Structure 1
Amino acid sequence: MASVAGGLLFLFLHIFAAHANNYIASSSSPPKFFNVLSYGAIPDGQTDNSQAFSKAWNEACKWNNRNGQNVVLVPSGTFMVNSVLFMGPCRSRMVFMLRGVIKAPSNPSLFFTDTWIGFRYINGLVVKGGGTIDGQGNFAWPYNDCFTNRQCKTLPVSMRFDFITNGRVRNLRSINSKNGHFTLYSCNNLNITKIRLTAPEESPNTDGIKIGMSTNIKISHSIIGTGDDCIAMLSGSENIDISSVLCGPGHGISIGSLGNNVAKEFVRGVKLRNCTFVSTQNGLRIKTRPSSFPSFVSDVIFSGITMANVNNPLIIDQQYCPQGNCFYQEERNAGVMINDVTFMNIWGTSRSEVAINLQCSEDIPCQNVKLVNINLAYSSTSAKQMVSKCVNVKGVSYGRIQPSGCL
C-alpha cells in the first residue's frame, strides 16, 4: 500500500509540475516602463517636452515585450507639450499612463493645428492613469471665430484617436480644451469610462466627445460639461452604447448634423441609457440639414433619461441650418431619412414650453418614432402650458406622455 501511495503522490506531483510549467510559460510577461523623465522630460510646466514624449513612445512602440505591455509613463508633475502624435502599429500592447498633468502651449503661434495629443494606428491601446490634460483653451478661444469667419484657422482637439482598435480610455480628466476634448475617427471596439471633460459653458466649440466613422464604441460612468455637445455622433457612427453619463453644461447629446457633405451619410444603432442632463441647451437631439445626398439615421433608443432644467429635452430637427447656407431641396433632390427612433422612460423638468419638438421633412417624414412613458414638467413659474409639437412624424406613443398631444 505504501508503494502504491508513493506512486500516486509521485504521479500527482509530476502532473502538477507540468501544469505549473505550462501556466508560467503561457502567462504574460511583466510590463516594461518607459518613463518620460528618462528621455529628458522636465516637469516645470514651461519646457517643451514634445521630443521627450515622442522618444519614449517610439522606443516603447518598437520594443518587443512578447506577451507583455509596454507602458509610457508620465509621472506626477506638470509637463508642457506641443503637438505630438503617437503612431503605431507597435510590436507589443501599449499603455499610455498619465499620472501628472500635461499642459498645452499658451503661445498663439503654436495654436493652429488639428491635433494636440494624437494616437493613430494602434491595436490594443490603453490610456489611463488618473491624470489631467489641460488645453489652456482660455488663451485660444478668442481665435475661434469659425462660426462667422470661413477663413478661420483650425484650433486643436485635445486628444484624437484615429484608427484605434480594441482600445480602452479610462480614469482621465481633460479641462479647457482649445477645440473639442476627444475625437474618435475610424475606431473599432473602443471603451471609454470614468472620464471627466470640462470647459466653461461659454467656451466655443469645446465638444466633449465627437465620434465619426467608428463602430462598437462604449462610453460610460463619465461627467461631461462643455460649451458645445457633450457627445456628438457624426456620420459613420454605428453600434454606439452610451450609459451613466452626466451632461451639463453644454448642448446635450446629439446625432448629427448629417447632410452637409457630398456623399451618403449615416448613423445607425445608438443606445443611450441611464443618463442625466443638467441645465443643458438641448437634451436628446437628432439634427440633419434640410437637403442632402441620400442619408439616414436608424435604430436609435434613448431610455432611462433624467432631465433637470433642460431647454429642449427631446428634439428632432430636419431643418438644421445654423449659418443659413444650406442647399435647397431642388438642387440636391434627396434628404436624410430618420426611422426607428424610441424615446422611452424620460422624466424631469424643461425650461422651454415645447418639451417635445419633433420637426421632420414633408418630403421625407420621420418613420416609426415611439414615445414611451415621458413625464416632463415645466421648470418655469410661468402660467403658460408646456406643449409638444410633431410635424411630419409617423409613429406611436405608449404610457403616460406629458406634455401630451404630439403622436
Structure 2
Amino acid sequence: MTFKLSCLVFPIFMFITIVQADVFDITKYGAKPDAEISKALSDAWAAACSAQQPSQLLIPKGRFCLNVIEFKGPCKAPIEVKIDGTVIGPEDPIVIPKGAQWITFSYVTGLKVTGSGTVDGVGGAMSWPTDDPITTVEKGSPLQYNLCFNFVKDSSVTGITSKDSKNFHVNLMTCTNVTFDDFHVSAPKESPNTVGIHIGWSKNINVKNSVIETGDDCVSTGDGCEDVHIEGVKCGPGRGISVGGLGRNKGEKPVAGVFVKNCTFSGTENGVWIKTWPHSHSGDASDIHFEDLTMDKVDNPIIIEQDYCPHIECKKNEPSQVKVHNVFIKNVKGTSNSPEVVKLRCSSANSGCENVQISDINLTYDGPSGPAIQECQNVKPVYAGELVPPGCAAA
C-alpha cells in the first residue's frame, strides 16, 4: 500500500508591538493662539518628561506668544518636541529674566526637536543697536539666544526655522552627539551677533543640509570642541563658517577635528575662517578640514586670521599664542570680491601655522585691484594639484 504524505503549511504570524508615543498637545494645557503660553508649555513638558514611554510635546499650527521657557531633564524616556506653529518671543529683551535664555533645553538625552514651524526671537530695534554681544541693554539684561542647548546628548533638531534672534540663534554648550538637519536660520544681513549655530565644549556635532542666512557667522566652533562635521550647508548672507576666535580667555581647551565639506557661500564676508586673538592666552587648533567648497562673490574665501581684533582694546603688536596646525584645504572654487582670495595671516609665535596643506584651488577675482593672489605670513603652505591663483612662499 502506498501512502501519500501531504505537507500542511501553517502560516506563521509575527506580532510586532509598536509603541506609539503619547502626545502632549499644549492646547490641552491651556495654550491659546496669540496668547502667552509659558505656563501651558511648562506643564506639558513636565507631563511629557515624566512619561514612562516615548512622548511628544506638540506645539500645533498657529501663532503663540512665549516669554521664556526651560525644558529641563533628565526625562524618563526619549522625548520629541514638535513645533508646527510659530512661537513669538517678547520684543523687549527685559521681559526675559536676567541670566536666562529665551528657549533652553538642559540635561536631556534622546531629544528630538522637529516640525515645520518657526521660533521668532523678534530681534530688531530694541535688540540690535549694538555690535557687541556681551553689551547689556537697559536695566542690565543681556541679549538672549533663540535656542540654547546645555548638556544635551544623543539628540537632533530637524525641519524648524529660527528667525530674528536677539543674539545667537543657537548656542550649544557641553553637548554630545547632536545633529542639526534641514535646519533654517533667517535674519537680516545687518543684524549684529546673530550667529547661526555656535558650538562650545562639545563633541560629535553635525550640521548638515541646512540653510543659514544671518548677520554673523553661519556656524562657529569655539574652544573645547571635538569632531564637528558641517556638510551641505548654504551660508549667506553671513560671515562664513569659522573656528574661533580662540585665545581670548585663559584655560581654553583645544579644538580638534573640524570638517567643513560640500558647503556653498553666497555673498558672505568670509568663507572658511580660522580666527585667534593677538596678545592671547595659549591655545590649540588642529585637524581642520575645508573641502569641496563653492564661493560666490565672497570677500575672503579662505582666511586664517591670527590677529583677529574686533575691539579697540586689542594689542595687535603682540602675537597670538594659539597654535594652529594640521589644516587641510582642498577643492575650493568660485569667485572673490577681493584679490587676496587666500589669506594666511599666521602668528609669529609658535612657528606660525604648521602643516597647512592646500590643493586644487580655483578662485578668481574680477575687479580693479589687480589679479587674484594668495597672501602668506609666518607660514609655509604645502601645495598640490591645480592652483588658481598660484601659491605663495612664506613671508
- TM-score w.r.t. length of structure 1: 0.90
**Percent identity of the aligned residues?**
38
Deviations 1:137-158 (A, max 9, x none): 0143345453795886411100
Asked if the contact 1:113/1:155 (under 8 Å) is kept, the reply is no
Q: Secondary structure at the match of 1:313?
A: strand
Q: Is the 8 A contact 2:93 2:141 kept in 1?
A: no
Counterparts of residues 3-82 of structure 1 (less than 5 Å):
5-6=7-8, 9=9, 16=12, 20-21=14-15, 24=16, 27-44=17-34, 47-65=35-53, 69-82=54-67
Cα distance in 1, alignment partners of residues 106 and 128 from structure 2: 29
Encode CA deviations 1:180-217: one digit per residue, 9 max, x unaligned. Answer: 11111111111111011010011110000000011001
Structure holding more helix per residue: 1
- State the distance in 2 between where 1:98 and 1:2 align: 65
Instruction: Write out per-residue CA displacement over residues 167-187 of structure 1, whole angstroms, 9 at most, x where no aligned residue.
Output: 011001111111111111111
Q: Secondary structure at the match of 1:157?
A: coil
CA RMSD of aligned residues (A): 2.1
Name the count of aligned residue pairs: 387
Q: Secondary structure at the match of 1:109?
A: helix
2:223 counterpart of 1:221: no
Conserved in 2, the CA contact under 8 Å of 1:309 and 1:379?
no
The equivalent residue for 1:322 is 310
2:261 is equivalent to residue 277 of structure 1: no
Structure 2 counterparts to residues 187-336 of structure 1, below 5 A: 187-326=175-314, 335-336=321-322
Q: Using a 3 Å threshold, how does the CA distance of structure 1 residues 254 and 334 change in structure 2: closer, same or farther? A: closer
Following the alignment from structure 1 to structure 2, what is the Cα–Cα distance between the partners of residues 307 and 358? 17
Amino acid corresponding to residue 166 of structure 2 in structure 1: K
2:170 is equivalent to residue 182 of structure 1: yes
Separation (CA, whole Å) in 1 of partners of 2:372 and 2:132? 35
SS of corresponding position for 2:39 = helix
Give the stretch that moved more between structures: 334-343 or 53-62.
334-343
Give the conservation status (yes or no) of the 8 Å contact 2:136–2:143.
Answer: no
Cα distance between partner residues in 1 of 2:290 and 2:50: 43
1:104 counterpart letter in structure 2: G
Residues 263, 327 of structure 1: alpha-carbon distance in 2 compared, 3 angstrom cutoff: farther
Matching residue of 2:69: 84
Alpha-carbon distance between aligned partners in 2 of 1:400 and 1:303, rounded to the nearest angstrom:
15
Counterpart-to-counterpart distance in 2, 1:334 and 1:77: 50
Task: Work out whether 1:359 is the aligned partner of 2:360.
Answer: no
1:401 Cα offset (Å): 1.5
Instruction: Give matches, 1:68-217, under 5 Å.
Output: 69-111=54-96, 113-142=99-128, 144=130, 146=132, 153-217=141-205
Deviates more, 1:106-115 or 1:354-363: 106-115
**Residues 244/108 of structure 1: CA separation in 2 closer, same or farther (3 Å cut):** closer
CA distance in 1: counterparts of 2:118 and 2:267, whole angstroms: 25
Tell me the secondary structure at the aligned position of residue 49 of structure 2: helix
Q: Measure, in 1, the Cα distance between the counterparts of 2:42 and 2:152.
A: 18
Name the amino acid aligned to 2:240.
Answer: G
How big is each residue's C-alpha offset from its partner over 1:359-406, in whole Å with a ceiling of 9 and x where there is no partner?
1111211000011011111143x2612221111113311112122242
Distance in 2, Cα, partners of 1:153 & 1:392:
42
| Shift >2 Å, 4+ stretches | 1-6, 111-114, 139-153, 291-294, 324-330
Displacement after TM superposition at 1:114 (Å): 4.3
Gaps of 5+ in 2: none
Offset at residue 85 of structure 1 (A): 0.2
How far apart, CA to CA, are the structure 1 residues paired with 2:254 and 2:347? Answer: 17
Structure number having the greater strand percentage: 1
**SS of aligned partner of 2:296:** strand
Structure 1 residue 109: Cα displacement: 2.9
Q: TM (normalized to structure 2)?
A: 0.93
Name the aligned partner's letter for residue 330 of structure 2: M
* Structure 1: gaps of 5 or more residues: none
Contact 2:151 2:173 in 1 (8 A): yes
1:334–1:307 distance in 2 versus 1, CA, 3 Å: closer
Deviation at 1:113, TM superposition (A): 4.6
Deviates more, 1:122-131 or 1:136-145: 136-145
Structure 2 vs 1, CA of residues 74 and 337 (structure 1 numbering), >3 Å: closer, same or farther? Answer: same
- Partners of 2:4 and 2:219 lie apart in 1 by 72
Q: Distance in 1 between matches of 2:135 and 2:23?
A: 46
Deviation for aligned residue 1:99: 0.7
Check the 8 A contact 2:131/2:193 in 1, yes or no: no
The alignment status of 1:374 with 2:364, answered yes or no, reads no
Question: For residue 257 of structure 1, what is the amino acid of its counterpart?
Answer: G
- Partner amino acid, structure 2, of 1:34: F
3-state SS of 2:210 partner: strand
